A and B are shown apart, each in its own frame.
Chain A
Amino acid sequence: MDFRDTAEEASFRDEVRTWFAESLPDELRGHRGGGARFDGPEVRAWSRALYDAGWVGISWPSEFGGRGLSPRFQAIYLEEEARAEAPPHVGVIGLGMAGPTIIAHGTDAQKARYLQPLLSAEEIWCQGFSEPGAGSDLAGVRTAARLEGDRFVLDGQKVWSSYAHIADFCILLTRSDPTSERHEGLTYMVVDMHGPGVEVRPLTQITGEAEFNEIFFANAEVPVENVLGEIGAGWGVAMTTLLHERGTLGFALVARLEVQMRKLLALAADRGASPTQRDAIAREWTQLQALRVTAYRSLTALERTGVPGPEGSILKLQWSEANQRVTALALDLLGPDAQLLPPNGPYGGYWAIQQLRSRGNTIEAGTSEILRSIVAERVLGLPRSR
């Protein structure tokens, strides 16, 4: 047990830190521009710069354009990226979900076609899983994929799809057998978002920003060679995607919380904190340290055994609730000033937006209720509730 970086880790961390110090333009530091922050050409250019510098796909196998390094270097990169307040690579869904799923289930042709442009941010991905009638209960998806010759014809609707408004491709979970129920008869496919019959409508969130979208499919056609895995075996492929969503997220989340905490401490120094608020700040700082160590414990288990440790399942659950508490605490420290939006709000209205955005944290990527059930059933071994 050693909480210090090894010489190799320290040198990698130093390399990342130096690169950000030299390469991150001031106007991109802490960059927030509402939902539009994904669209700007500078964000694509920045993502490409990350790729050219070798910071994208750090732990991906080298045969697919990655560096083939241990996940701990990916973790160090994510920590330093957050500390530099650099915008992340725009291909969040591609890097975290579509890419790993294609590596696990894709054909050689699919890997050759999709992976490199995904890393270089030339092509952006979105995810089509949730539907109006299938949220936490994903096995209820009804978007129909009708096989006609060498293509599927799609009809249906997806929702809560981040990045869909700028995406080139979608990883889509469909029901290809209309007589099937639940986990059977599902097919997972790659859909060209620019094809006919695909329509994207942005959804405005409670922050007033539009990060996510509805996607409508009306007789959209998808070639059979775009299926990932086998026809009718989409559930297992979708589980791979969700495993990666919940597996690789931990470090990025902890690093973002670390930045929030730094801002919170600055705010407390600026505005002063009552004894009760000081207690709450100490509690949240303690939680942050605990989350960071827990992320590394899970990583240690992953490297030793090939599977993330059970403690990793609590990271997103705890992070989301911690981020809600931290941002609410910031509002308390600000008093009525917290009501002011940009340009009058203190810190550019940062906390007002962050606190509202945090309410989504316990809903997206697995609600806290679902995550507690996962801990209860898969970690503690309690009987299934349904």
Chain B
Amino acid sequence: MDLAFTDLQDELRAQARGFLEATPEPGWDALAELGWTGAGVAEEHGGAGLSFLEEAVIHEEAGRALLHAPLWSTSCVLPFLPAEDQTAVAAGRASWTLAVGPLVPDLDTATHVAVPGGDTVWELVGFERELLPTNDATRPLGVVSGGEPGRALFSSDALPALRSRSLAILALEAVGVGTRALELAVRYVNERTQFGRPIGSYQAVSHPLASAYTELELARSLGWWAAWCVSEDDPQAAVAAAAAAAEAAEAAVATCERAIQAHGGIGFTWEHVLHRLYKRALWIRSWEASPAQLRAEVASHLLDTA
């Protein structure tokens, strides 16, 4: 058991942190140039040939930065796509999203839409897109109308593995979101004084933030466990991803709420970044399945498989 990040993973994190702080709204081509869009694509297909763990580092940072790009939605389907499509993603010419329900994420930016039908996942062609007003402007939802199945992309047998990838990424995105919200709260309660003292010296303020730290670290542990299981195709990947996503989404939402409370009135304003972090946390909690539904899956794994 060795839970340290490799030097490469540390470098990737530093690069991602620096780039996303300097470039809040990077285009897909910029992400391709950094090697992120094809991070998990084999080298012979034009990618970087990295493992899912390296991709996961980027996703955690993308969550932290509220990256507005179809990185998660593309990464979910990427390893299952035909080789030439993976090459196009790595080169920054294509991005993907999967239409599993009526609401399709990242429909403003994803160039291609995949849709499950029967035993196959198809490329959807000849459709219209309509974006819907949503709370989280950095991960829009829309609906598609018309259209028909074009090329067959991959077998529907891959959908459970695809879902585990999706949940593991969302868990780490949530950890990134929550970590940034907590950092903002810690900075604020150190600076803001009332009754002649920094408000962070009051335990009624500091203890909820200590609890937020605790919950986020546990969620981080689960997120990396799930990412490792996905990376290794471990038999526990599905339950680990469900457990991690449930816990991380709730931790991120609770941390944002505590951070808003700690900021007082300013935390409740449109101009402060906190509401955008909060909205992404709520977005993540709503996607795929609610934490309660995910825990029902975990319970079924624990209690119904004997």
Contacts and interface: CB of A to CB of B under 8 A. Distances in A.
B299 A281 contact: yes
A287 B218 contact: yes
Interface stretch (B91-99, B115-123, B220-228): B220-228
Given A1-B6, A3-B1, A383-B190, A294 B217 contact: yes
Given A279-B296, A291-B218, A293-B222, A380 B210 contact: yes
Nearest to A301: B4
Contacts of B197: 383
Contacts of A314: 213-214, 217-218
A281 B303 contact: yes
Given A1-B53, A372-B211, A382 B200 contact: yes
Contact of B206 (A291, A300, A382): A382
A303 to B, nearest CB: 9
Contacts of A377: 206
Contacts of A318: 214, 218
Contacts of B302: 265, 281-282, 285
Contacts of A42: none
B306 interface: yes
A297 B303 contact: no
Contacts of B209: 376, 380, 382
B22 interface: no
A293 B306 contact: no
A1 B5 contact: yes
Contact of A383 (B2, B5, B200): B200
The interface size bin for chain A is 35 or more
B198 interface: yes
A1 B2 contact: yes
A300 B4 contact: yes
B221 A290 contact: yes
B206 A282 contact: no
Question: Which among B222, B229, B302 has the highest number of chain A CB atoms within 10 Å?
Answer: B302
A282 B217 contact: no
Question: Which among B2, B182, B198, B243 has the highest number of chain A CB atoms within 10 Å?
Answer: B2
B88 interface: no
Given A290-B247, A380-B186, A278 B303 contact: yes
Contacts of A384: 201
A250 to B, nearest CB: 12
Interface string B188-205: 011000000110111100
Interface string B135-176: 000000000000000000000000000000000000000000
A72 interface: yes
Contacts of B222: 286, 289-290, 293
Interface in A358-373: 369, 372-373
Contacts of A373: 203, 206-207, 210
Contacts of A287: 218, 247
A275 B300 CA distance: 11
Nearest to A76: B1
A268 interface: yes
A282 B291 CA distance: 11
A337 interface: no
Contacts of A311: 217, 220-221
Contacts of B189: 382
B190 A268 contact: no
Contact of A376 (B207, B243, B292): B207
Nearest to A4: B1
Given A3-B1, A372-B211, A382-B209, A293 B200 contact: no
B104 interface: no
Given A1-B3, A3-B1, A373-B206, A297 B221 contact: yes
Given A281-B299, A282-B302, A382-B206, A317 B4 contact: no
A296 B247 contact: no
Contacts of A379: 210, 213
Interface string B272-306: 00000000000000000000100110110011001
Contacts of A296: 1, 3
A2 B295 contact: no
B219 interface: yes
Contacts of A297: 3, 221
Question: Which among A265, A275, A311 has the highest number of chain B CB atoms within 10 Å?
Answer: A311
B186 A300 contact: no
B67 interface: no
B126 to A, nearest CB: 43
A2 B213 contact: no
Question: Which among A3, A4, A314, A373 has the highest number of chain B CB atoms within 10 Å?
Answer: A3
B228 to A, nearest CB: 5
Given A282-B295, A285-B243, A314-B218, A380 B3 contact: no
Contact of A289 (B190, B225, B296, B306): B225
26 contacts: A2-B228, A3-B228, A3-B229, A6-B1, A265-B302, A269-B303, A287-B218, A289-B240, A290-B218, A293-B221, A293-B224, A293-B225, A296-B1, A297-B3, A314-B213, A314-B214, A372-B203, A372-B207, A373-B206, A376-B200, A376-B206, A380-B213, A381-B190, A383-B201, A385-B202, A385-B203
Interface of A: 1-6, 9, 72, 265, 268-269, 273, 275, 278-279, 281-283, 285-287, 289-291, 293-294, 296-297, 299-300, 304, 311, 314, 317-318, 369, 372-373, 375-377, 379-385
Given A375-B214, A380-B186, A385-B203, 4 more contacts: A278-B299, A380-B209, A382-B189, A385-B202
